[in-house]
Chains A and B, each alone.
Chain A
């Protein structure tokens, strides 16, 4: 079975600070996909990034960056120069490809979520 752990329940920062959200995952499979989703106060889930297990390159998108390290089973998310609009709940998730079979097909296993509050 897969497991995703986001140990930080809540993080509070002041605007313009950098903040890193941690994500640690467990799976016995060698092929998997990792995701980050953002849930703003309005409640919808917004896709941020997908990473497959064979691509360990870090990725940067504007103020967002992701550090994927298979050696430590981590997929951390950093927001640089945080803004009030970044305040949200952030979820890390993992899924397996369809050839994993059984109940794993298409299922997203989510972490508990990290509530990020950015103060002006």
Chain B
């Protein structure tokens, strides 16, 4: 079954404590992306990757890091989380113009 798997689904953490949200896809898609969803703002792209070792900033990259060492995995790293990073996060994978497959979402709360 084609899918994008994110973990964890829910996370509560404290300010400054480094965390990683994992994302894995089994469709051999070259393009992967992270979005955050906030009320009234829709989904905004944080970072994207066009292939292994190729990543670049999206619209709201501040405070985030990513890596793409394998085609299937695209983790999102928050080195020093702050309360304004409390949000719902989605990982997505696709090929150009194709339907983006989204993970189930990670609801992050930073206190």
Q: Which residues of A contact B (CB under 8 A)?
A: 4, 6, 9, 33, 35, 37, 43-45, 47, 50, 52, 91, 93, 95-98, 103, 105-108, 110-113
Chain B: minimal CB distance from A117 (Å) = 15
* Cβ–Cβ contact B90 & A108, under 8 A: no
Instruction: Check A45/B97 contact, CB under 8 A, given A91-B43, A108-B43.
Output: no
Q: Which residues of B are found within 8 Å of A110, using beta-carbon distances?
A: 35, 42-44
Which of B50, B88, B100 is within 8 Å of A105, CB to CB? B50
* Segment at the A interface, from B11-19, B62-70, B101-109: B101-109
Residue with the greatest number of chain B CB neighbours at <10 A, chosen from A9, A45, A91, A96 = A45
Of residues 63 to 111 in B, which have CB atoms within 8 Å of A's CB atoms? Answer: 88, 90, 92, 94-100, 102, 104-105, 107
> Is B33 in the interface zone, CB < 8 Å from A?
yes
* Contact call A112/B42, Cβ cutoff below 8 A: yes
A35 contacts across to B, CB distance below 8 A: 99-100
Binding site for A on B (CB under 8 A): 31, 33, 35, 40-45, 48, 50, 56-58, 88, 90, 92, 94-100, 102, 104-105, 107
In the complex where A43-B105, A97-B97 touch, is A105 in contact with B43 (Cβ < 8 A)? no
List 3 tightest A-B contacts by C-beta distance, closest first: A98-B96, A106-B31, A110-B42
A48 to chain B, nearest CB (A): 10
- Jot down 15 A-B pairs with beta carbons below 8 A, ordered by A: A6-B42, A9-B40, A43-B104, A91-B42, A97-B96, A97-B97, A105-B48, A105-B50, A106-B33, A107-B45, A108-B43, A108-B45, A110-B43, A110-B44, A112-B40
The closest CB in chain B to the CB of A6 belongs to B42
By beta carbon, the residue of chain A nearest B107 is A43
Residues of B within 8 A of A111 (CB): 42
Contact (Cβ within 8 A) B105 A44: yes
Contact: A106 with B94, CB < 8 Å? yes
